[in-house]
Amino acid sequence: MKSNVGSGDRGITSLLSGERVPKSHERIEACGELDELTSVLGAFASSLPMDEKVIRAEIQAIQAELLHIGAWVAVQPGGAGAKGLRAVEEGPLADLEASIDRMERELPPLQSFILPGGTPSASWAHVARTVCRRAERRVIAVSGESMQGPILPYLNRISTYLFVLARLCNRRQGTVETSWKG
């Protein structure tokens, strides 16, 4: 497949369902936010210590599911492109919730708000969390509450996962969280 096709040089692109739309179209914006989140998750994973194999595998699973969700966002409701997509299922959501529970067992209870930061990996997890929240808002703007299956709960849970993961990264690397003194 050729990478440099030039079909978008005039600010127009195609949705997965075939419609040609401006690159500023709300569905393209939402897909861009999901793409950014996927990329930031890659940067986060590269900042992890090499022995964090479970977390790396979880991040790759999230990235794969985000590409799948992006395909659903890239089709108009009822569009022809949706027929070829597999349904978004509950399994990845349940996996995230199980991961959150597993990580929280390793952490002390939160006593106050904390400032984002700490180790590079914790900082990247916080950045990814904020990108996730923006992507979630864009997807909601495209779909309201009618998005297919568990897409909206999944996006919401990713940000929770990333918050808990940031705390875990700091704890495992011996960095104390900074409480917000507001």
Reported as a single tens digit per residue, the pLDDT across 105-132 is 999 999 899 999 999 999 999 999 999 9
**Whether pLDDT at 176 is above 60:** yes
DSSP-derived 3-state class of residue 9: coil
**Whether pLDDT at 25 is above 90:** no
pLDDT at residue 95, as a whole number: 97
For residue 50, what are the CA distances in angstroms to 46, 121, 125, 162?
A: 9, 12, 16, 18
pLDDT at residue 7, as a whole number: 63
Cα 98 to Cα 104: distance, rounded to the nearest angstrom? 10
pLDDT at residue 124, as a whole number: 97
User: Which of the four pLDDT bands, split at 50, 70 and 90, describes residue 13?
Assistant: confident
pLDDT at residue 8, as a whole number: 63
Number of Cβ atoms within 10 Å of the Cβ of 158: 26
**Whether pLDDT at 26 is above 70:** yes
pLDDT at residue 75, as a whole number: 85
Mean pLDDT confidence for 24-46: 95
Cα dihedral 126, 115, 98, 73 sign: negative
Q: What is the pLDDT of residues 70-95, one digit of tens each?
A: 998 888 777 677 777 888 889 999 99
SS3 string of 23-38? CCCHHHHHHHHHHHHH
Tell me the domains of the chain and their CATH numbers: 23-75+89-105+115-172 (1.20.1200.10)
Q: Give the single-character DSSP code of 12.
A: E
Q: What is the pLDDT of residues 38-61, one digit of tens each?
A: 999 999 999 999 999 999 999 999
